[in-house]
Chains A and B, each alone.
Chain A
Amino acid sequence: MLRYTFKRLLSLLISLAIASLVIFMVIEVAPGDPASFMLGINAQEDTLAALRAELGLDQSKLQRYLGWVGGMVQGDFGTSYQYRTPVSQMIADRLWVSLPLALYALALSTLIAFPAGIYAASRRGKAGDIGVMGATQIGVAIPNFWFAMMLVLIFAINLRWFSAGGFAGWDKGAFAALKSLTLPAIALALPQAAILARVMRSALLDVLGEDFMRTARAKGLTKGQALRRHGLRNAMIPVLTILGLQFSFLLAGGIIIEQVFYLPGLGRLIFQSISARDLIVVESVTMLLVFAVIVVNFAVDLAYAAVDPRLRART
């Protein structure tokens, strides 16, 4: 188990190194000089040079890459070209909206999808199964940002149960904050829950065809007992894979949903920075998102090993 963890950790570090290099190089290719963008067209050549030196733009590419990565490791993400404030501070503020939103949505999606998938699998071919599958088929087809607009129309504008947008802030208490994240989380979660429920159902149905399920039935377990005691854990392996992928969809999807609800999260930050050509912010936020996805995949790999003893034994 230790060796397995170590191997996964090593591959995580390599992925991070390559990802950071890719992001850095892509941003390097970007046309335009941040210094002249910040100072406008009429800037003097010596003021420009001074600003470039201040931003570190006069160093070699290698130096700047190492400086960027080295800084990030220590929690220093550089200084925003636009606001002249530390990027780490800007990200930290926004993270308090985006991360809870993604986790809230993940929790909702799991809570809806698992029971729905298990229910459909146990009622295979019957009305309940067909109903759940039909609902998920539509759920998969709904764009989450459109669904968000419909939620606003119904629950904020017509019923006035929630506000149409904005974030209450954590200083107003957890309830108020979570309430303002509820509609966005539902909009994010439902289409993902539809996918997850389908995966859960088909993973369970695959397991139901396995020989060991017949052994379980021959032991005297009822269909339901066999499904719960022997089917679920074996079905978790494909489900975990999708769950890991969904986290990255939820983070990215959050960027768009934040636009619908005017939430001050990473998504708003990244769009503002793009229009202001504040590339250091774009670079760092992108790296953070990629970092989150890679770390979640690492966690999924560890979860595999917890579920499946064969993985623990190998490597």
Chain B
Amino acid sequence: MSLLEISNLSLSIHGTQILHDVSLRLDPGEVVAVTGESGSGKSMTALAIMQLLPDGSEAQGTVILDGQDVTQLSEAQMCDLRGNHLGMVFQEPMTALNPVQTIGAQIGESVRLHRSDLDPAARTEEVLARVGLAGMSPRRYPHELSGGQRQRVVIAIAIACGPKLLIADEPTTALDVTTQAQILDLLVELAHEDGMGLLMITHDLAVVAQMAQRITVMQNGAVVEAGDTPVLLSAPQHPYTKALFAASAHQAKLPEPVENAPLLQVRSVVRDYALPRTGLFSDPGTFRAVDLVSFDIPRGGRVGLVGESGCGKSTLTRAILGLEPVQSGSILLDGMPVYSDGHPNLDVRRKMQVVFQDPYGSFNPRHRVSRLITEPFHLLPSPPKDRDARIAEALRAVGLSPDDAEKYPHQFSGGQRQRLAIARALIIRPELIVFDEAVSALDVSVRAQILDLIAKLCGEYNLTYLFISHDLSVVRSITDHVLVMQNGKIVEKGATEDVFSAPKHPYTQTLIEAAPVLPITDTA
């Protein structure tokens, strides 16, 4: 008998239909993945199993867990089930733990709640060891742990009572790639060794391709395809699944690279931050965010910068953009320093533009597009006479219409806003564009379109850019040179294909090893 059997589950919240006839099955010890883009209803499906739906929800259909239909259970019966036979792991480990309680108290609480036969303290130590935190003091507070450690604590809470089913909702999305690999290994190991069913909710197909026995693909609240992983991967049937696979394995087609004189020269750059004082009169001490970094970007070069959070890539970006001074070393664009005499150099800055990650945060919500994308004109000595023509050209170049100039940013989708951000960067025809995690917040299909757009613009505008990302597959598809950064240092640099196919530095090897890869299919 199956552990979990969802049949024809439909859900509406305040009258809006969220799920249509979702059906899903999971056996003990099995790993099943539910995947889809944002808004596909995958997280709501998970919350429906937990019966933790938002107020105003109405559900039809059955969710049978271990022979019981949870939709028919009372709230008190559900409370007995949750945390006991049913564990859940959430996306955001930074906020999923109560900041004012020790981790021991939070793990022990579910033991005390459901398992009077166990000693909470002993069981806490046991599960901490089980999630790879052996020896970690249960008296520590969440803020003292790293993101990966916190996610392990969240998992420890979920498995403390030995549940039959563990639901993991995007458990690794907020984590770095090496940490992600460790957490995924842990989850699979728990499922196999403890005979627990694992339901993985994720937007990242590559993640589940390696671990799930079966995959269910959702779109707009309905299941569009489900099947055994190897079958589904080799021969997807539904057009949506095919498109999703194509987009995940997408390779943008860059024009051939050219060898040119350097445009950006970064020489032995050091950036220190003062740490908070430890004592009133003691020296505050410093943290070296960027440590003797040197590299060149030739004119027409497409260079990638990869590294995990905290490696110093954001600091380096701000220094290159001339937003912050550096302690030593020099950053020259076209032979001139970006920051001199304590001020950013406007003549240099006008040759440089940036595209940020967050398509929702990068525009002032109160301004129209025409005003937003012309903001860089502020860098010119006088506003250009052909302003309207330039706006129209920039919008057309990124695949939008000149009529969009009078709209507000909230009238655009995430992908369109990222096009606007590129239009803003292009409008003063800069020599260098910095893409700072520019596609990281986008769904795979939209991401593929934006990468294609960048590749197309490369040909039309002979772009030079620095592409900063934590996502190795993206960097691989859009750059011809790559820099790998760790702890403030560039540990490896070279032609993208060379670095990816034969990494030399151990850290690069770990990174590439850890990155989930989708098995190449010929459906594209």
> Chain B at the A interface: mostly helix, strand, loop or mixed?
mixed
Interface code B59-98, partner A: CB below 8 Å = 1, 0 otherwise?
0000000000000000110011111100110101001111
Interface code A72-104, partner B: CB below 8 Å = 1, 0 otherwise?
000000000000000000000000000000000
Q: When the two chains form their complex, are residues B109 and A215 in contact, meaning their CB atoms are under 8 A apart?
A: no
Q: When the two chains form their complex, are residues B141 and A309 in contact, meaning their CB atoms are under 8 A apart?
A: yes
In the complex with contacts A219-B109, A220-B114, A313-B143, A212-B99 CB distance below 8 A: yes
Q: When the two chains form their complex, are residues A308 and B84 in contact, meaning their CB atoms are under 8 A apart?
A: no
Residue of B nearest to A7 (CB): B280
Residue of A nearest to B278 (CB): A3
Q: When the two chains form their complex, are residues A220 and B81 in contact, meaning their CB atoms are under 8 A apart?
A: yes
Residue of A nearest to B99 (CB): A310
Q: When the two chains form their complex, are residues A215 and B90 in contact, meaning their CB atoms are under 8 A apart?
A: yes
Report chain A residues within 8 Å CB of B239: none
- In which size bucket is the chain B interface? 35 or more
Measured CA separation A140–B169 after assembly (Å): 44
> Which of A217, A219, A310, A314 has the most CB atoms of chain B within a 10 A radius of its CB?
A219
- Distance from A128 Cβ to chain B, minimum over Cβ atoms (Å): 16
A52 within 8 A of B: no
Residue of A nearest to B87 (CB): A218
Report chain B residues within 8 Å CB of A220: 79-84, 110, 113-114
Measured CA separation A3–B79 after assembly (Å): 43
Q: When the two chains form their complex, are residues A218 and B83 in contact, meaning their CB atoms are under 8 A apart?
A: yes
- In which size bucket is the chain A interface? 20 to 34
A229 within 8 A of B: yes
In the complex with contacts A229-B109, A308-B100, A218-B52 CB distance below 8 A: yes
Q: When the two chains form their complex, are residues A217 and B96 in contact, meaning their CB atoms are under 8 A apart?
A: no
In the complex with contacts A211-B92, A310-B143, A313-B143, A219-B113 CB distance below 8 A: yes
In the complex with contacts A210-B95, A212-B97, A218-B87, A313-B144 CB distance below 8 A: yes
Q: When the two chains form their complex, are residues A221 and B113 in contact, meaning their CB atoms are under 8 A apart?
A: yes
Report chain A residues within 8 Å CB of B110: 219-220
Interface code B24-59, partner A: CB below 8 Å = 1, 0 otherwise?
000000000000000000000000001010000000
Within 98-113 of B, Cβ neighbours of A (below 8 Å) are at: 98-101, 106, 109-110, 113
Residues of A at the B interface (CB closer than 8 Å) are 3, 6-7, 10, 210-212, 214-222, 229-230, 233-234, 307-310, 313-315
What are 26 residue pairs bridging A and B, where the CB atoms are less than 8 Å apart in the complex? A3-B279, A6-B280, A211-B90, A212-B95, A212-B96, A212-B97, A214-B90, A214-B96, A215-B106, A216-B98, A218-B50, A218-B82, A218-B87, A218-B90, A219-B83, A219-B113, A219-B157, A220-B80, A220-B81, A220-B113, A220-B114, A222-B79, A309-B100, A309-B141, A313-B141, A313-B144
For the complex of A and B, the 5 pairs showing the least CB-CB separation, nearest first, are A220-B83, A219-B83, A211-B95, A220-B82, A218-B88
Residues of B at the A interface (CB closer than 8 Å) are 50, 52, 75-76, 79-84, 87-88, 90, 92, 95-101, 106, 109-110, 113-114, 141, 143-144, 154, 157-158, 276, 279-280
